[in-house]
Structure 1
Amino acid sequence: MRSWGLAGRADDAVSVANELVATAMRHVLAKRLGQTGWLAFTNSRHAVLCVVSDPSPRAHRLISTTHLTAHGRGLHIVRALSDN
């Protein structure tokens, strides 16, 4: 992030990556032992892209949560920290 001139967004990028990897681990990779996923960061002039891949054919989706919900906040955190 620093080499891209985006050091001020590094904490957000780490949080987004953490939530995406945690979602993949919790919902897919832990159930499919021996299969792998991957994480990549790339940048363009206007954006940093964080991509996490897992072997699931289904897309992860936002679910409704409340302040008492124990799980399901990860993608909400990603949305809040992401510009788009």
Structure 2
Amino acid sequence: MTRLRVGPPQFTARRLTRTSTTLARTRTHVRQTLAAWQLAPVTDDALLVAGELAANALRHALTDHPGQQAWLGLLNRPGQLLITVTDPDPAPPRPGPAHDDADPADPGESGRGLLLVSHLADSWDWTPCPGRGKTVWALLSTWPRRGTA
């Protein structure tokens, strides 16, 4: 029998700035946070989702809005991990088609990144933040999958 730990939600946020180390530090933050929250089974998926959402904010929103910043948020609540990235660009995220001739080493530029998010997350969407841009979010289930407990 698997025991599920249910307690109050846990939250952390990290500022994203346009530097060469931001994505690496973001991945480290996500990995360490999920380890502290004992969410090892979703760490790989969460790293990919958080990395893609952060990369999109850095590549698109912060390029178009110099001097602004974005934020990564992680919320652990019973059965779900909510990953958010808030950025200053009000434009909605646009999943692009996956192109056969795209560079597989750069999924964000090829349009595959948000397709990956939609595959890994239970759901994802975006919410406008009037006067402040938008928040893109993804939900990952943290409940044990049948047969893995």
Give the TM-score category using the shorter length: 0.7 to 0.9
Which is greater in Rg?
A: 2
Q: Decide which structure has greater strand share.
A: 2
More moved, 63-72 vs 12-21: 63-72
1:10, CA displacement in angstroms? 0.6
- Find out whether 1:55 has 2:94 as its counterpart: no
1:79 aligned partner: 118
Q: What TM-score, normalized by structure 1, do the two folds share? A: 0.86
Q: Which runs of 5+ in 2 are unaligned?
A: 1-33, 104-109, 124-149
Q: 2:68 aligns with which of 35, 49, 55?
A: 35
Detail structure 1 runs of 4+ shifted over 3 Å in the superposition. Answer: 2-5
Between Structure 1 and Structure 2, how many residues are aligned?
A: 84
Higher relative contact order, chain-length normalized (CA < 8 Å, sep 6+) = 1
Identity over aligned residues, as a percent? Answer: 39
Q: What TM-score, normalized by structure 2, do the two folds share? A: 0.52
For residue 43 of structure 1, give the secondary structure of its aligned residue in structure 2. Answer: strand
Structure 2 residue identity aligned to 1:58: A
Partner deviation per Cα, 1:16-38 (whole Å, 9 max, x = no partner) = 11000111111110222100010
CA RMSD of aligned residues (A): 1.5
More moved, 24-33 vs 60-69: 60-69
Q: Which runs of 5+ in 1 are unaligned?
A: none
2:49 and 2:117 in contact (8 A); partners too: yes
1:2, CA displacement in angstroms? 3.2
